[in-house]
Structure 1
Amino acid sequence: MPCTLKVTARFGLFLVSVLLYTNPKKRVNMELKNFNLLLILSLLWGASFYFIAKSLLFFSYEQIVFFRVFFAALTLFGFLLLKRVKFDFDWKLWLSFLVMGILNNVIPFLAFTYAQNGITASMASLFNATTPIFVASFAHLLTQDEKLSKLKILGITIGFLGIVFLLNPHEKMVVDVYKLIALIAPISYAFAGIFGKILKGKDPIFSAFGMLTCSSLIMYLFFHTAIHAVNIEQFEHLKHVVFLAIFSTAIAYILYFELLARVGATKLLLVTFLIPISASILGVLFLNEAFTPTMYLGMITIFIALFLIIKDKK
């Protein structure tokens, strides 16, 4: 592993270790099996940025997102059939799936996939890591039970400084449009996280299937021309899109909800530190990407912000 990657990996794992093992009275207990699942989940989500980069060599961003949500929905449909989960067709529930599909799939998937036409997979994963910063900010404004503490305010402030480092405006304060588009994704994820509370008590895998099904319909409705433009020759290169759908979306959802039930939402936030590490390793080793000094500065700042926000969780 190149030296730069070792620094990235060690710093992220150091902060995770601090969260897990410091302060005995507030120690985060996590069995080795659960921690291994956490590492697998971070690898699957980190790999999504690699799969997107490879898929963009042969498909447009609209085609990639449609096939991603469509194949992921089919995978979860098969999983639900095997588990013999009862399907709920209440229209209000599916309306919620529609909204969640837009916020949690369509907007962020389109934003990241389009943005990777102009930024690296490593950079995209760092923007993804800012999601908890936006969640904490919006939750304070839109909910009554998640108000900001002094520690969270400090974390959010440092986090937004990290975002400025990532945007890295050029001369005359001109910011790369691809970076701004990438920033739309974590903002949309944050709104999805807040709105998603409406689905509390519902089967999470069925909810994921519902979201992805609605996302597939939305993508086809708005981008059917681009989707139909896929030719037979392109299907030879579909494997990375299929991997993106099955492993980094469908299976990742199953792992996510399994871990959520086992360890809880706060401990699961540790995956935020690990995704940029796995994405950067894949990007540098297999996509010949460079990890720039400003990316390091942004990563370190964002990791510190996430550390403060997560440590503040009760």
Structure 2
Amino acid sequence: MSLTRWRNIPTTGLMFVALAAMWGTSFVAIEVGLEFFPTLTYAALRYELAGLVMLGYALFSTDRWYPKRRDELLMTAIGAVFIIAAYHALLYLGQNYVPGAIASIIISLSPILTAAFASAILSTRSLGKTGIAGLVAGFAGVVVVANPDAGILGSSQAMGIALIFLGAASFSLGSVLTRPLRTDLPVQSIQAWTMFGGGLILHVAGLARGESMAAIHWVPEAVAAFLYLTLVSGAVAFLLYFELLDRVGPTELNLIGYLEPVVAALMSWVLLGHVVSNSTLVGFVAIFAGFALIKKDALLGFVGVVRRRVAV
């Protein structure tokens, strides 16, 4: 099969759905695994193993598997600290208090936060009135998901939502800080060292919290959740992510963040019996509306390209 045929729309669409399914179900797998693992140790082991798997893949598939220049080392360090360690520490801690479906909706705020950080830090084009309206809509969506009228302010659920929101902010900040860095180090190698380095940081943080490997309960459910997160939602999903990033670009790929909560909600209901409330659905719609306002021009351009390709 030729490269041109391989990169056709149906194949890309299938990969998009597959990635959304892998990352959407990861929130449920985290929720399941937290019953059997110490919180940060769970995240640490996942990314240490995933990093080693990716490192083996980089050794096999690239001509350079380690960073050596300043920008490469800095990119790896930023990714390890902000995108892996801080993001997942806050996400896993937050999921001790809220279901995976709600966590996935809060995380879907990340593209909006990324646009805001990029505007402030990189001196890119100002958000403008439409962009600011999108930012407000996104934050309003988080407030609706938190549902303060239900009296959760000050509760453990409010704490969980706050932690996950900070995790989304950490991921977005890390994504923006790496943008100015230029490197020809293969993405497989960058991802391998970012994962492994972030895993080591998480492990140290877990030890600082008094977590112990002896506290892990290696029951079948725990093993299944861990292996799924490490190999499927980790190594395989990130390979799909970078392939799709090359095919469709970052703006269009951000749309995957709005399919993940649908998958997470469905799997939470099927596997764990969790039902998403009406207010949570309204909050999700508000967050997506915020993203659509901020990325209005890019989305309209993407829709136009799809229509032209379908017409052909």
Per the normalisation by structure 2, the TM-score is 0.85
Does the CA contact (< 8 Å) of 2:83 and 2:174 recur in 1? Answer: yes
Q: How many residues align?
A: 285
The CA distance in 1 between the partners of 2:30 and 2:93, in whole Å, is 9
Worse overlay, 184-193 or 94-103: 94-103
Structure 1 residue 285 and structure 2 residue 264: aligned? no
Distance change >3 Å, CA 53–CA 138, structure 1 → 2:
same
Q: Secondary structure at the match of 1:197?
A: coil
| Partner deviation per Cα, 1:162-216 (whole Å, 9 max, x = no partner) | 1111122244954611111111111011101101214444322211111112112
1:150 Cα offset (Å):
2.7
DSSP 3-state at the match of 2:85: helix
Task: Deviation per CA, 1:115-135: give whole Å up to 9, x if none.
Answer: 111111110000110001111
1:213-292 matches, within 5 Å, as 213-224=196-207, 226-230=211-215, 234=218, 236=220, 237-292=222-277
Displacement of 1:234: 2.0
CA contact (8 A) 2:24 2:264 kept: yes
Equivalent residue number for residue 84 of structure 2: 105
Query: RMSD in angstroms over aligned alpha carbons?
Result: 2.1
2:93 to 100, 114, 126: 114
Aligned to 1:207: 190
Partners of 1:115 and 1:299 lie apart in 2 by: 18
Evaluate the alpha carbon distance shift between residue 146 and residue 211 of structure 1 in structure 2; reply closer, same or farther with a 3 A threshold: farther
Indicate the residue corresponding to 2:14 in structure 1: 36
Cα distance between partner residues in 1 of 2:248 and 2:190? 20
Please state how far the C-alpha of 1:255 moved relative to its aligned partner: 0.7
Partner letter of residue 135 of structure 1? T
Query: Which ranges in structure 1 are unaligned for 5 or more consecutive residues?
Result: 1-28
TM-score w.r.t. structure 1 length?
0.84
Q: C-alpha distance in 2, partners of 1:122/1:297?
A: 14
Say whether the 8 Å CA contact 1:100–1:211 is kept in structure 2: yes
For 1:211 and 1:192, how far apart are their aligned partners in 2?
Answer: 12
Deviation at 1:70, TM superposition (A): 0.9
Same amino acid, percent of matched pairs: 23
Whole-angstrom distance in 2 between the partners of 1:199 and 1:98: 12
Runs of 4+ in 1 over 3 A off after TM superposition: 170-175, 198-202
Q: Letter of the aligned partner of 1:133 in structure 2?
A: I
Matches of 1:251 and 1:147 in 2, distance apart?
Answer: 36
For residue 87 of structure 1, report the CA deviation from its aligned partner.
2.3
**What's 2:295 paired with?**
310
